[in-house]
Amino acid sequence: MTTTPPNTQGIPPDTTKVPEVTLGFWIIKIAATTVGETGGDSVSMSMNLGYLVGTGIFAALFVGAVILQIKAKRFHPVLYWATIIASTTVGTTLADFTTRSLGVGYAGGSSLLLILLLLSLYAWHRSLGSISVETVSTPKAEVFYWVTIMCSQTLGTALGDWTADTAGLGYIRAGIIFSVLLALVAALYLGTRISRTILFWAAFVLTRPLGAVVGDFLDKPVTAGGLALSRYVASAALLLFIAVCLVVIPQRPAREAH
């Protein structure tokens, strides 16, 4: 009989409820952020419910998913990724409500959301002494984790829209920029000794604007530089892709800090 060794931080892997960070993790994460854009726009725009109502709907789903995640006794891949998707959809509609309905603008919205993200990370570190997965094994740590993720998803949406629209780069060039930045983070991970925790959160934030511009590229009109695909069809296809990934890609709880 074999036993599963504890992770390098001395935390048994069955007590962590976040997944191991692998290439598969980032593939699913980018797909989840993209469906967050198309799914959020489906409710707020295609259904004509508006950003505020859409935010209320997705916020309720997100809070419900977080509660289930916290109550769970171990890592559940489907529940974890459902919570991530919920965070991306509420991030989409909340960012749109902040930047458009409140008239803050993409630059102002991105700046505000960056401050909120940094405050969340600071409060988490101040309270628990770490912002790595090592601390995501208690309800308090999980609350910090999911608040930080929601802030990062919202920031990423505003940042993606700012780059593609306000900066006038368009969806393809903006997507290339964020892809290059992610590749740079990967290079730093492989070639330097920079804190893995810092690099993890940098990559986590950058995947969101990448997903935002890819989602907009899929569903925006051709005249605006998009492919004019149905938001419902795009969302369904992305959800199917994520489901296949969850079956094909091994899903294990994290064993080391990130």
Interval 177-197: pLDDT, tens: 999 999 999 999 999 999 988
Query: Which residues, 6+ apart, have CB-to-CB distance to 252 below 8 Å?
Result: 13, 19, 20, 75
| Across 200-220, average pLDDT | 92
pLDDT of residue 258: 54
- CA–CA dist 229, 218 (Å, integer): 6
Looking at the predicted structure, is the pLDDT value of residue 244 above 90?
yes
Tell me the average pLDDT across 12-21.
74
Asked whether the beta carbons of 217 and 171 are under 8 A apart, the reply is yes
Full-model pTM: 0.89
- Beta bridge partners, 253, equal 19
Query: For 13-26, what is the mean pLDDT?
Result: 82
Q: Per-residue pLDDT for 93 more than 90?
A: yes
CB 19 within 8 Å of CB 76: no
Residue pLDDT, tens place only, 139-176: 999 999 999 999 999 998 888 988 988 888 899 999 99
Look at 149 and 4; give whichever has higher pLDDT.
149
- pLDDT mean across residues, the chain: 88
pLDDT surpasses 50 at 132: yes
* 189 vs 155: CA distance, rounded Å: 23
pLDDT mean over 50-59: 95
| pLDDT of 7 over the 60 cut | no
Neighbours of 253 (CB within 10 A): 24
- The residues pairing with 19 across neighbouring beta strands, listed in sequence order, are 253
Q: Within 13 Å of residue 133, how many CA atoms lie on the same side as its CB?
A: 25
Place of tokens 């803050």: 104
